[in-house]
Every structure is written in structure tokens, then in C-alpha cells.
A and B are shown apart, each in its own frame.
Chain A
Amino acid sequence: QSALTQPASVSGSPGQSITISCTGTSSDVGNYNLVSWYQQHPGKAPKLMIYEVTKRPSGISNRFSGSKSGNTASLTISGLQADDEADYYCCSYAGSRCVVFGGGTKLTVL
């Protein structure tokens, strides 16, 4: 099972919006509304930011939003803040097996 495809890096200035894409196939992203996004700061465990494509867990800022079109899911962060600088991973259900993760995107806040 191949990893989902994410850009290696994205950047933006404080207050701006950025979008991170996550491209899979019709066997994972395209076939299920079960895409999650994780934020990981250096040396820390991943933190759930978005699940089931668009849903935010309790306590997650509404600056984080998710969407999906076909085989590509996206994470948008609006009103960028310094603390948003981290690695972001997408993840998709892929049937009766281990889930598949994206390769990760490093977000730099300029």
C-alpha cells in the first residue's frame, strides 16, 4: 500500500491562509469519507486536528478546516500563527487493513 502524497513543505506569513493537499487513490481517500489530519511538533506525539474529512475534535480551533474532492483531501489553516509551525500528516481508512498515512508536510510560518 503506497503512502498518500503530500507536498514536502509549505509556508505562509502570520495571518495568511495555507492549504495542504493529500492525494490518494480510489481505494482509500476517494472511496471513504475517513480522512484525518495530524499536527506534530518536534519531539512530540501527533495530535488529531481533523477527522472524517471535515470534523474538528473538541478544543481544536476553527482556523483548521478540511475538505475532499475525488482522490484528494485538503487541510486549510487560516489566520496562521507562529505555533502552527509543525509537521502535518494526512491519514485515510483503506479497508480492512492498517490505515495509510501521507509522507508529511512541514509548515513554516515566515
Chain B
Amino acid sequence: EVQLVESGGGLVQPGGSLRLSCAASGFSFSSYTINWVRQAPGKGLECVAVISGSGGTTYYADSVKGRFTISRDNSKNTLYLQMNSLRDEDTAVYYCAKDSWGFGSSGCFDPWGQGTLVTVSS
């Protein structure tokens, strides 16, 4: 069974840092692009970062560029999102989602993890 499991969410103060992880199983991890998508409370979906299967290509939303870093360890089948200089507006559930492509982001995401909640508040 293809599965993604996020961890690392929690409460952090504005300006703080947090690292999210996404553990993958059931597929050839290094062959697929993985995306981080977030959803603020009561709001819609927003793609925040993308990384190709090899890890050599990354994309970021303008809202997080320069503050967030996406990376992956293909030997551990794990994806990461390092979040620095966190702001109130970064409060959201963060999902990792497997793409159907190995390079670039097709928009065809299946499956998604269960999500991890990040709350930025003083």
C-alpha cells in the first residue's frame, strides 16, 4: 500500500523554526516528485514546495520563498520541509502528496498524507 505519513507539526512562536517530515512507503520513492501542500484553517489548498524525485529540482510558492526549504533523503524514503522565520499566516495543516511525475509537478497528487498541524502563535 502506498502511504505517506507526516510528522513534526506543533506550536511555534512567530519568527521560530520547525522541520516537518514525511515518511513514504509502498512505492519507489526516488522515482517521484513529492509536494508539500498546506491548508489554513477554513481555507483552501496552497502548494508551498515541490521536489523532483532525484532532489535536484525544487519549486516554492512566492509566499514561502527564502524561508522554507524542501529536501529529501531517498535512502530513508523521507521528505522534509524546513520552515524558518515563521509567521502567523503560516498556520495551517501541512500535507505531503505524491505526484504522478518524477520531475516537475503535474497536479495529479495521489495519495496524500493525513497532514500535520503547524500553529504559529505567541
Interface of A toward B, CB cutoff 8 Å:
1, 3, 34-36, 38, 45-48, 51-52, 57, 89, 91-93, 96-104
Contact = CB atoms under 8 A, between A and B. Distances in A.
A36 B95 contact: no
Contacts of A93: 105-107
Among B35, B62, B110, B111, max chain A CB count under 10 A is at B110
Report the 5 A-B pairs with minimum CB-CB distance, sorted nearest first.
Answer: A98-B47, A51-B108, A48-B110, A45-B112, A99-B107
B105 A48 contact: no
Contact of B50 (A38, A89, A98): A98
Nearest to A1: B62
Contact of A45 (B47, B48, B107, B113): B113
Contacts of A96: 59, 104
State the main secondary structure of chain B at its contact with A.
strand
Given A97-B59, A98-B50, A98-B59, A36 B44 contact: no
A101 B48 CA distance: 11
Interface of B: 35, 37, 44-50, 59-62, 95, 97, 100, 104-115
B44 A89 contact: yes
B95 A46 contact: yes
Contacts, number: 73
Nearest to A6: B44
Contact of B110 (A35, A57, A99): A57
Given A45-B114, A96-B59, A101 B108 contact: no
11 contacts: A48-B109, A51-B107, A51-B108, A57-B110, A89-B45, A92-B107, A98-B47, A98-B60, A98-B61, A99-B105, A99-B106
Contacts of A103: 44
A96 B58 CA distance: 9
Nearest to B60: A98
Contact of A52 (B45, B50, B60, B108): B108
